Amino acid sequence: MAAELTDEGLIRMDRLPMADDRGEGYAILRAAGPVVRSDTGYLVTTRELAEHVFKNPETFSSQKAFDTLGSPVPLVPIAFDPPHHTRYRRLLQPFFTPRAAAAMEQAVRDKVVAIIDTVTGRGSCDVVAELARPIPAAVFLALFGMPEHDLDRLIAWREVIIQMADLSGSGEAPPEVMRSAGGLYAYVAAHVAECRAGRAGGLLRDLFESDSADEPFTDEEAIGLCFLFVLAGTESVTNALSLMFAKLAARPELRRRLAEDPSAIPVAVEEMLRIDPANAVVPRVATKDVVLEGVHIPAGATVGVAVGAANRDPEELDDPDAFDPSREYNNLTWGSGPHRCVGVHLARTQLRVVLEEWHRRIPEYRLAPGARPQVVWPTGVIGINSVPVVFPAAS
């Protein structure tokens, strides 16, 4: 490991080479060992240890790991551990089944088609600004029964909170984050009140009406659920799409394969999520002193699951750094254990539909001349702010 990447024996996360290609950075983490000390805490880099941390919330807590995200209320259900988390998952699960995601697919597809149709005649667009960013936010508004005309300010609040908040669990949210979080809170709280009074529809009203007498869903919990979807759910889909389009725009053989055979898209999506996950490191907090692979981790320390490194574990995969769009592998990008992403089926639907409809209409495209899509690093959630592409304009 290069000396310039360390500081007093700790890996400096901000010095990892991640801007253009995360593979080298993840290789450095794996080479440092299964348990790595960094300037943001401890990191586990293997599939086995990642599963262990994810599946043992009594030792590696999610409860406090997201305190610095900028939410004025705990994020439901990720900012809770069992047994409270178990209750939330039981209440929410009926709304996020594969069947529920399938019921939303046509609405997602209609929105995607409408956006793509606005750019086909231009011969160029920024895929992130014009597609990847608005789609998941619009899906959130539709799912929760909020007006579509609120899209722009929802995105504005989200961008400030995500881009400026410290996702390592080791600091405090900046004032700009708290101001945006306050605006989002007021907006969401007003909608929750409308749903509680029966004057607005969507998931929250359905959730309130499905309450059992012994475990009603509170207004604060509903606000926390909205914050989770705005800050984690929509941003994860946006960032995943940004990384995917950056890769596809630079690989003509891959995009042509997806255009010619849409049935290949679901597996290719999972491989792109494996090789380049948006959630590079998922934080947890040790609830007690623990030893992992001979490394003592004190109670209260941040323990990050280095998902990007664990997804490339050579003990699990042949040639793990190679991108193989036909590889079928249960990657860790969606998490594991009790905190596995509750919206995984809806997220997969969005990713698949976007790629299907884009490649149906715009099969040939490439990066705009001079474009060099890069991620902003360090960050807890990896994404690319701009992916400008050019393509033959439709007549």
Query: If we measure between CA atoms, which residue out of 176, 127, 136 comes closest to residue 155?
Result: 136
**What is the secondary structure of 40-107 as a DSSP string?**
TEEEE-SHHHHHHHHT-TTTEESTTTTGGGS-SSPPTTTT--TTHHHHHHHHHGGGSSHHHHHHHHHH
At 179 the three-state DSSP class reads: helix
Tens digit of each residue's pLDDT (9 = 90 or more) over 93-137: 999 999 999 999 999 999 999 999 999 999 999 999 999 999 999
330 burial via Cβ count (<10 Å: 0-12, 13-18, 19+): exposed
Q: How far apart are CA 387 and CA 395, in angstroms?
A: 23
Is residue 57 within 8 A of residue 340, CB to CB? The reply is: no
Q: How far apart are CA 166 and CA 69, in angstroms?
A: 6
Rounded mean pLDDT of the chain?
91
* Confidence at residue 166, expressed as pLDDT on a 0 to 100 scale: 52
pLDDT band at 302 (very low <50, low <70, confident <90, very high): very high
Specify the pTM: 0.92
- Alpha helices by DSSP H, listed for 165-234, are 175-196, 203-209, 219-228
**Among the ranges 100-104, 156-160, 208-212, 381-385, which has the highest mean pLDDT value?**
100-104
357 φ, ψ to 5°? -70, -35
Residue 170 has pLDDT above 50, yes or no: no
